[in-house]
């Protein structure tokens, strides 16, 4: 249900993908929870999962199947180390890819980290009317992704288009 200015509060899940983080050291997930909440959306669930393809898919699939979940934002596992498995885990769950998300994220990141952005495998997709955005694990990358792309795209009042019209809201 939207308020007077067209903003619709969404139920958003945050998934931190890391072999080393816990709640006390999860600065990226913490930043996303704060930013999402301050925007007016609701944190539906938050979890930390080891960087394992099947563990990531298990949690993401559960959230995708839940009609009360409107969006999922992940942090971590998008690099090139052997333990970076987020794209492999998540992309097969997408009904449609959001190619422009990764492209725009890398474009914006170039002004912040230069050519190192080429190693980002940030990606997005839609699954069961759930918007999914997979960000790198750095806190700065999460801030960039949320503030400069995702925040507007999950705002029903953003024109000319946004993802809220495609969600099960």
Query: Which domains occur in the chain, in start order?
Result: 11-166 (3.40.980.10)
Q: Tell me the whole-structure pTM to 2 decimals.
A: 0.95
Q: What proportion of the chain, given as a percentage, has pLDDT over 90?
A: 96
DSSP notation for the chain: ---TTS----EEEEEEE-SS--TTT-HHHHHHHHHHHHHT-EEEEEEEE-S-HHHHHHHHHHHHH-TT--EEEEES--SSSTT--HHHHHGGG-SEE-HHHHHHHHHHHHHHHGGGGGG---EEEEETTEEEEEE-SSHHHHHHHIIIIIHHHT-TT-SS--SGGGS--
pLDDT of residue 3: 46
pLDDT of residue 4: 45
Assess whether pLDDT exceeds 90 at residue 160: yes
Averaged pLDDT for residues 128-141: 98
């Amino acid at each position: 249900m939207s308020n007077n200015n067209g903003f619709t509060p969404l139920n958003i899940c945050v998934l931190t993908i890391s072999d080393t983080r816990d709640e006390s050291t999860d600065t990226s997930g913490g930043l996303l929870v704060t930013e999402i909440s301050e925007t007016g959306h609701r944190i539906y669930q938050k979890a930390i999962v080891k960087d394992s393809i099947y563990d990531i898919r298990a949690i993401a699939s559960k959230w995708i199947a839940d009609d009360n979940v409107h969006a999922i934002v992940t942090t971590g596992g998008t690099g090139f180390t052997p333990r970076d498995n987020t794209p492999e885990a998540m992309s097969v769950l997408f009904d449609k890819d959001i190619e422009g998300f990764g492209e725009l994220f890398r474009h914006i990141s170039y002004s912040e980290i230069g050519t190192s952005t080429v190693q980002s495998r940030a990606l997005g997709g839609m699954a069961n009317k759930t918007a999914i955005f997979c960000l790198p694990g750095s806190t700065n990358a999460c801030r960039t992704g949320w503030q400069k792309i995702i925040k507007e795209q999950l705002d029903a009042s953003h024109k000319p288009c946004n993802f809220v019209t495609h969600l099960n809201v």
